[in-house]
Structure 1
Amino acid sequence: MTERPTSVAGRAKRFATDVAGLGIARAVGFVAPALLLIGVFLIFPALWTIYIGLTNYELTGPNAVAPQLVGIDNFVNALDDALFQNSLWLTALFVLGSAVIGQNILGFVLAWTLRKAKPGLRRTVESLVLLAWILPSTVVAFLWFAVLDRDGGTLNALLGSEGTAWLVEYPMLSLIVFNTWRGTAFSMLLYSSALAAVPPSQLETARVVGASGWQTVRDIVFPHIRGHVLTNTLLISLWTANDFSPFLLTAGGPNHASETLPVFIYRQALEGGQLGYASAISLLLLLANLVVAAVYLWLLRRKS
């Protein structure tokens, strides 16, 4: 018994509602686990943070049992808080110094220098740089304590400056150098891939006409990798702005001199017990990240 054409057409229409021809029900079934994970671990925490930021929720005490809605008071208080303003400035300095300038420039220099190096040397340098990136934060912090220690530190021994407490006297400089050293691997790998796409004929032409290294990078290389530069800068800026590693070295000290926003949020939430206030600051940090991302995406669209 043959099926009626109208029935066949109706079934085909139902299964043609998506590109793979699975049908809406099956397609939803395939993506449901991923949507569930996103909802549980991303959307719900974000909404919960927004809600807590509108309350006076505390870690202990009466406000931990029955928090009250305070509206935008937490946000207003944060903007008037000198410690928050200090943390915001230090975070901007940390991102600019260690990510936008440090990791970007050092990563490109390594990629540009190693592109013609011998395979053995290139693999060795890349392995050492990657090792700094993949080591656990606690291990890296312990190593840098040994380097920057006031008594018997490696850096003081090399410079002959015994007694210099780098993490106390120059906390932000120490953190910028530390984060540049640790995070350069990603920039190096990204730029190595980008440089491989630059036409060799153009590089050879620049060499023949006597262009300097800087002129070659400016006029030949950069126009080809501009999109990669913006993408890399966006990613490392966001990662650095939300990095908690500075706490392992300085804990925000001395006297809040290295208290970046993630460290400030941690201390307000867990040390001060002000979960509502800390959540409001977390939301402000999220909004700052979105603004930075929007600027970079706008620059990418202009480039394209």
Structure 2
Amino acid sequence: MSTPVDLTPAAESTVDTPSRRGRIADVAGLGVGRAVAFVLPALALIALFLVFPALWTLYIGITDYQLTGPAAANPQVIGIGNFLTALGDTLFRNSLWLTVLFVLGSAVIGQNLLGFGLAWLLRGARPWLRRLTESLVLLAWILPSTVVAFLWFAVLDRDGGTLNLLLGTEGTAWLVRYPLISIILFNIWRGTAFSMLLYSSALAAVPPSQLETAKLVGASGWQTVRDVVFPHIRGHVLTNTLLISLWTANDFTPFLLTAGGPNHASETLPVFIYRQALEGGQLGYASAISLLLLVANLVVAGLYLRLLRRRS
């Protein structure tokens, strides 16, 4: 004979039912309707400003859509034609290679090393010196891009530029002779603040006892960083490298310095997309290249996640 289930309030509180699980999940007590009402405005903004532009770009990328002319009024679907054109375009391949060099030089190597170096040197600095250095580095990061570009024009100008006055090389057009190196140094100077702040926070979590032990056994600075510090901040290094790489690959600011010139010598992919879309009027072609850049970003992000999972 089966035992009857006690449905008293005390017994009911121990029975796992769908309604009870729902009440436990709804810890705020809003209910489904109110919860949806709170989330709906955010979802609408995401759909309007992220999902719809992405889908529209995908559609334009498979058409011959142009800024003016018959194709602007009646674009035709051409499938993967724009992507095949990009793969055979020497200017696109040039921009892709320059973007790789720009990201490696200014973000992966430049900002990473300089940001960590500043964070490491400022650990034991006097408080006033640390605050002053951090403020100056942060100032370069928070200033508007147009202001920063104007300052670098003043430094690299052919006639009366600060760098020419310091080196005694008056008349040297740095932005013309060394355009890629110029925008790499410009981006290192402008973006190092983020890496410095992130590594400063990461180094604060390294146990001081381990640093003291390494010092007592006679480890050099490089050995301390390699064997003691890096194992603790490896995740921060991966996160910082991912973020600054994606930001740099999609950065349009170099256009303010060189406009992609001279003769496409500093035309990174964002600048190339802008010139194809607005100067050349090839909106469909520019959208296809934007999708290729998006795929490259996803590949980099996927590689980062794989490395992070391997670390964990």
TM-score, reference length from structure 2: 0.93
Q: Which residue of the other structure, out of 30, 42, 51, is the alignment partner of 2:50?
A: 42
Question: Which whole-Å CA distance do the structure 1 matches of 2:38 and 2:308 have between them?
Answer: 33
Where do 1:1-304 residues align within 5 Å?
15-16=23-24, 18-304=26-312
Question: Which whole-Å CA distance do the structure 2 matches of 1:86 and 1:25 have between them?
Answer: 53
Question: Matched residue of 1:41: which SS?
Answer: helix
In structure 2, what residue type is equivalent to 1:260?
T
Question: Which whole-Å CA distance do the structure 2 matches of 1:188 and 1:23 have between them?
Answer: 44
Question: Which whole-Å CA distance do the structure 1 matches of 2:291 and 2:53 have between them?
Answer: 11
Offset, 1:33: 1.1
- Whether the 8 Å CA contact 1:150–1:163 is kept in 2: the answer is yes
TM-score, reference length from structure 1: 0.95
Offset, 1:16: 4.4
Question: Which whole-Å CA distance do the structure 1 matches of 2:91 and 2:26 have between them?
Answer: 53
| Per-residue deviation, residues 70-101 of structure 1 (Å, max 9, x unmatched) | 00000000011000000000000000000000
Question: Which whole-Å CA distance do the structure 2 matches of 1:83 and 1:177 have between them?
Answer: 23
Task: Pick closer, same or farther for the CA change 1:74–1:11 going to 2, 3 Å.
Answer: same
Task: Pick closer, same or farther for the CA change 1:10–1:112 going to 2, 3 Å.
Answer: closer
| Per-residue deviation, residues 35-66 of structure 1 (Å, max 9, x unmatched) | 11111111110000000001000001111111
| Per-residue deviation, residues 203-254 of structure 1 (Å, max 9, x unmatched) | 0001111111000000000000000000000000000000000100000000
In structure 2, what residue type is equivalent to 1:163?
G
- Whether the 8 Å CA contact 1:17–1:24 is kept in 2: the answer is no
Offset, 1:300: 0.7
Q: Which has the larger radius of gyration?
A: 2
| Per-residue deviation, residues 142-175 of structure 1 (Å, max 9, x unmatched) | 0000000011100011111111110000000000
- Whether the 8 Å CA contact 1:268–1:278 is kept in 2: the answer is yes
Aligned-residue identity in percent: 80
Offset, 1:27: 1.8
Question: Matched residue of 2:213: which SS?
Answer: helix
Between 1:8-17 and 1:24-33, the stretch displaced more is 8-17
Question: Which whole-Å CA distance do the structure 1 matches of 2:150 and 2:22 have between them?
Answer: 60
In structure 1, the gaps of 5 or more residues are: none
- Whether the 8 Å CA contact 1:17–1:23 is kept in 2: the answer is no
Offset, 1:22: 3.0
- Whether the 8 Å CA contact 1:16–1:22 is kept in 2: the answer is no
In structure 2, the gaps of 5 or more residues are: 1-7
Offset, 1:17: 5.2
Offset, 1:13: 6.0
Question: Which whole-Å CA distance do the structure 2 matches of 1:27 and 1:196 have between them?
Answer: 39
Question: Which whole-Å CA distance do the structure 2 matches of 1:233 and 1:193 have between them?
Answer: 15
Offset, 1:25: 2.2
